[in-house]
Amino acid sequence: MKTILITGGAGFIGSNFVHHILDTYPDYRVKVLDKLTYAGNLDNLRDVMDDDRFTFIKGDICDKALLKEAAEDVDYIVNFAAETHVDRSILDSEAFIRTDVLGTYTLLETVRELNIERFVQISTDEVYGSITEGSFKEDAPLNPSSPYAASKAGADMLVNAYWVTYRLPVIITRSSNNYGPYQYPEKLIPLFITNALEDKPLPLYGDGMNVRDWLYVKDNCEAIDLVLHKGEPGRIYNIGGDNERTNIEITRKILAILGKPESLIRYVTDRKGHDRRYSIDSTRIHNLGWHPRTDFDTALEDTVHWYVENRWWWERVKSGEFQRFYKEYYKM
Ligand code: NAD
Ligand code: DAU
């Protein structure tokens, strides 16, 4: 019997990870601590709310006293809590610095005070910055472009410092772009699926030729599970989908699956500081025994169908704070 505290567990990847853990380990208990920002959504956890093994705590990872109370009886902490959207960090980055840097520091201090067996920090391939050719290994220098990526890089530096200084049992994962159910529709794939379903334009930045490495969220959850249980403390693990695609290719595929016309594509002004290509070398986690299991075309179709079938979920999300951000950022 183990108890895991999953911070940020009401967001996209965190809620998928909660489901993964409860489904995979019948004798585990899961506590979620989440601030329920605009991106946190209890609908993502509705089918585990009545599970005896599950507890939800509304709270902020910057709140030291609350964290200490929540983590007192836990074996592991996995931190997904963050401000995560690059475009929002371009508009205003204060919350990114607060949650991603100060929040991670507060978690590390909590781990230092309590007897936690393992702390996994969920980071991102964006901390390496853009790469024209080849792929970044875990020891590549950090070169973040956006305030979001810089806030995540700051957190990674702190996690590493707590390993070097205090030998805290910490591990960092840096994954590539995730997609799947429960992703907030400000991100490329759910935004374009839901806009297409509403016959609204799909705002493609620049020339549409930026490259991202797409990873199905359920594959990422398996990788995080492996790292939590079998990873080496003090290490960083890249988790890539080995699936690099241009944004225009993704856009066309979504429209084709939905049977919608390409005339919905609207080329718009490029994102400021837009990284051209992300690419990571995942040899280290391959050697630990993980490979992405999902075929991209099948998982993208499944994802599109999830949004088709769960209109109630995204219509509710899109009718809220999303509207304010969308109007301010896209002016559409
Ligand atoms: P998300 O935006 O969907 O969810 C973030 C969650 O964190 C929300 O539930 C929110 O309420 C919670 N949160 C925010 N601030 C908080 C605070 N101060 N205290 C407690 N909870 C707080 O994010 P996501 O896409 O699921 O990303 C999860 C993690 O994975 C992040 O750390 C992100 O940097 C990282 N990541 C994401 C991707 C991706 O493609 N989505 C890829 C690589 C890494
Ligand atoms: O690489 C991992 C990162 O992936 C995570 O750390 C971030 O939390 C997550 O948001 C994501 O960042 P990106 O900026 O890569 O994802 P996003 O979905 O915002 O954009 C993907 C690509 O699509 C990027 O090249 C920008 C482009 N794009 C995005 C949006 C929202 C558009 O062309 N139009 C859009 O409207």
In a domain, 148, yes or no: yes
Assess whether 126 carries a catalytic annotation. yes
Closest ligand to residue 90's CA: 2
222 a catalytic residue: no
**d(C-alpha 65, C-alpha 110), whole Å:** 9
Q: What are phi and psi of 140, to 5 degrees?
A: -65, 150
115, pLDDT greater than 90? no
331 occurs within a structural domain: no
From ligand 2's centre to the CA of 105, what distance in Å?
26
Strands across the sheet with 54-58, in order? 54-58, 29-34, 3-7, 76-79, 118-124, 170-175, 236-239
Structure tokens that stand for 91 in this block? 């508009």
Residue 251 maps to a domain: no
Q: What is the CATH number of the domain that holds 63?
A: 3.40.50.720
Q: Which is nearest to 75 in space by CA: 25, 156, 5?
A: 5
> pLDDT of 205-254, one tens digit each?
999 999 999 999 999 999 999 999 999 999 999 999 999 999 999 999 99
Classify residue 161 as exposed, middle or buried by CB count within 10 Å of its CB (0-12, 13-18, 19+): middle
Q: What is the pLDDT of residue 164?
A: 98
| Domain contains 25 | yes
Residues in the chain: 332
Catalytic, 148? Answer yes
Q: Centre a 10 Å sphere on the Cβ of residue 150 and count the other Cβ atoms it contains.
A: 22
Residue 24, domain member (yes or no): yes
Integer angstrom CA distances of residue 298 from 216, 222, 294:
10, 18, 8
Helix, strand, or coil (residue 51): coil
Q: What is the pLDDT of residue 30?
A: 98
Tell whether ligand 2 has an atom less than 6 A from the beta carbon of residue 247: yes
CB-based contacts of 219, cutoff 8 Å, min separation 6: 241, 292, 293, 294
Using CA atoms of 200, 206, 208, 209 in order, give the dihedral in degrees to the nearest 10. Answer: -170
Residue 188 Cβ inside 6 Å of ligand 2? The answer reads: yes
CA distance 176 to 279: 8
pLDDT above 90: percentage of residues in the chain: 99
Alpha carbon of 274 to ligand 2 centroid (Å): 9
- What are the tokens at 94? 């204060």
Residue 117: inside a domain: yes
pTM for the structure as a whole:
0.99
Q: Does residue 71 form part of some domain? A: yes
For residues 119 and 233, give the distance between their C-alpha atoms in angstroms, rounded to a whole number.
9
Q: Is position 91 within any domain?
A: yes
Rounded to whole angstroms, the Cα distance separating 332 from 326 reads 7
Say yes or no to pLDDT of 332 above 90.
no
- Ligand number with the minimum distance to the CA of 123: 1
The overall longest dimension of the chain from CA atoms, in Å, is: 57
% of the chain surpassing 70 pLDDT: 100
Q: How many structural domains are present in the chain?
A: 1
Asked whether the beta carbons of 329 and 280 are under 8 A apart, the reply is no
pLDDT tens digits, 41-98: 999 999 999 999 999 999 999 999 999 999 999 999 999 999 999 999 999 999 999 9
Q: How far apart are CA 288 and CA 295, in angstroms?
A: 21
Catalytic option among 126, 219, 222, 275: 126
Range of the domain at 232: 3-179+215-239
CB 261 within 8 A of CB 195: no
Comparing CA positions, the residue from 48, 167, 53, 54 lying closest to residue 119 is 167
Q: Mean pLDDT, the chain, as a whole number? A: 98
HSE, CB side, 13 Å, CA atoms: give it for residue 198. 15
Structural tokens at position 242: 């080995």
Write down the pLDDT at residue 143. 98
Residue 158: the pLDDT is 98
